[in-house]
Structure formats: C-alpha cells, structure tokens
C-alpha cells in the first residue's frame, strides 16, 4: 500500500491541551480573581472530575442525567459544544458566573494548547515529500487559529471538523470527506489518532490507521515520528 495522504486527529494527537490547573489559573488571573490555595485545589479537582476541560483527561466521567443527551451530541455543532462543556463546568462552584464561559473561551486559544514535540518535524517532513495533510476532528470549534498560533498552519491542507459536517468519528463520512478534499482514494490514506474507537472508524472506509497514545506532551516526545517511516 502506497500512502498518498495523511489524516490527523487534533487533540491528543498533534496537540495537547493544558492542564486543568493551568486552565483555571489563566482565567482567574485574567480577571484578577483570587482563590485560596484550598479553594483553588478543590475547584481544579472538581473541574477535572467533571470532565469540564475539552480535550482533557480521557478518564470516564459520570455525566449528570440532565446533561447526558447534550454531551452525547456535543461535537455536532458549536452551540451544543459550548453548552455541554459550560454545563459540566457549572457543577463546580466558582466565584463569578462569567467564569464558565471564560473557561470555555480560554480552551480555544493557542495559549491553551501545546504541539507534541515531534509534530512540526513530522508535518514538515510530509510537506517536503509532497504528501497532503488533513486534520479530522470531533470538535465544536475551528482549531485553525491554534495551528496558526504555533506556526503549523502552513503544513495542513484541509480541516474536516465534525461540527461543520454534523457527524462525528467513527462515522466513515467524515474520513471520506477528508479524502475527497485531498483528492485521494481512502485506500491511499493513513489516519493517525489517539482514539481506537473514533479514529479507528477510518479502517471501515479502507484507510490505513496508526494510533498514538493520549499522553501529556512531555511524556510523548516522538510518538508521531513513526508516521514518516510509513510513507
């Protein structure tokens, strides 16, 4: 099989979101609000346990019944994504109601994300070889400013985002749309992701699939590098 294009997941694959503590601290500092050390620890632990940080921990979260339906379809449009995550965050008491939307807004900024250490090397290597790249993500917002903010936007040819298509991975239609945008047959594409279920759906379409581990950036310095050897 000759790989003519590569599809990448976004969160947990090319980029890693900041920690819950960093996320909360940044928003509190921006609004010049202070919590005691104990209050801050309780709030950060509560947000983590609630799964309120998009792209954060992959641990199983007990979603409240009144949010279950919304969370299940959060990635099909932008308004549901915001409502789902601000709803999860609101389970945790914070000193200002406006902080819930501020936390959501923070997670969409370049400062909240860090590329994996080998992301630039791999994306640049694919560009040098003339291999087109698409980002295929279950997401409720446009991550292109994050790529631009870290100088990686020049290496991506297409963004295929669930909230724009109304379907989520593992639905093969999302992978098919990415292959169509890159002008390749699915059998000539490689999907790279961290979610065996969601990203593994590309195999149904005939794409090759390569998995990486969803780890903090510093704990996965070269997880993407094998991709260059598969081309």
In whole angstroms, what is the distance from residue 133 CA to residue 122 CA? 11
Give the model's pLDDT for residue 160: 98
Q: What is d(CA 97, CA 189) in angstroms, rounded to the nearest whole number?
A: 45
For residue 220, give Cα distances in angstroms to 4, 16, 77, 105, 223.
26, 10, 31, 27, 6
**pLDDT at residue number 230:** 87
Mean residue pLDDT of the chain comes to 95
Using a pLDDT cut of 70, give the percent of the chain over it.
98
Q: What is the largest CA-CA distance in the chain?
A: 58
Whether residue 69 is predicted with pLDDT greater than 90 in this model: the reply is yes
Residue 129, CA distances (Å) to 144, 149, 151 in order = 23, 24, 19
pLDDT band at 60 (very low <50, low <70, confident <90, very high): low
**What domains, with CATH codes, occur in the chain?**
5-16+112-229 (3.40.50.1000), 18-111 (no CATH)
Of the pLDDT bands very low, low, confident and very high (cuts 50, 70, 90), residue 58 is low
% the chain with pLDDT above 90: 93
pTM of this prediction? Answer: 0.94
- What is the residue-wise DSSP string for the chain? ----EEEE-SBTTTEEEPPHHHHHHHHHHHTT----HHHHHHHHHHHHHHT-STT---S-----HHHHHHHHTGGGSHHHHHHHHHHHHTTS--S-TTHHHHHHHHTTSGGGEEE-TTHHHHHHHHHHTT--EEEEE--SS--HHHHHHTT-GGG--EEEEHHHHT--TT-HHHHHHHHHHHT--GGGEEEEES-TTTGGGHHHHT-EEEE-----GGG-SSSSTHHHHT-
Q: pLDDT band at 2, cuts 50/70/90?
A: confident
């Amino acid at each position: 099989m000759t790989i003519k294009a590569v599809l990448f997941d976004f969160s947990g694959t090319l980029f890693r979101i900041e920690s819950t503590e960093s996320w909360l601290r940044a928003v509190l500092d921006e609004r010049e609000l202070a919590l005691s050390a104990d209050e801050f620890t309780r709030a950060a632990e509560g947000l983590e346990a609630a799964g309120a940080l998009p792209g954060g921990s992959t641990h199983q979260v007990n979603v409240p019944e009144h949010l279950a339906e919304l969370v299940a379809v959060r990635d099909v449009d932008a308004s549901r994504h915001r409502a789902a995550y601000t709803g999860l965050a609101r389970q945790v008491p914070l000193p200002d109601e406006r902080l819930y939307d501020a936390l959501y807004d923070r997670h969409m900024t370049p400062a909240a994300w860090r590329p994996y250490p080998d992301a630039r090397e791999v994306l640049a290597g694919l560009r040098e070889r003339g291999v087109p790249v698409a980002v295929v993500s279950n997401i409720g917002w446009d991550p292109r400013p994050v790529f631009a903010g870290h100088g990686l936007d020049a290496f991506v040819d297409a963004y295929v985002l669930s909230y724009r298509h109304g379907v989520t991975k593992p639905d093969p239609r999302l992978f098919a749309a990415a292959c169509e945008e890159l002008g390749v047959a699915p059998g000539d594409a490689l999907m790279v992701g961290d979610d065996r279920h969601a990203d593994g759906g590309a195999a149904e379409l005939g794409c090759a699939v390569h998995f990486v581990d969803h780890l903090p950036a510093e704990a996965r310095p070269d997880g993407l590098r094998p991709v260059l050897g598969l081309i």
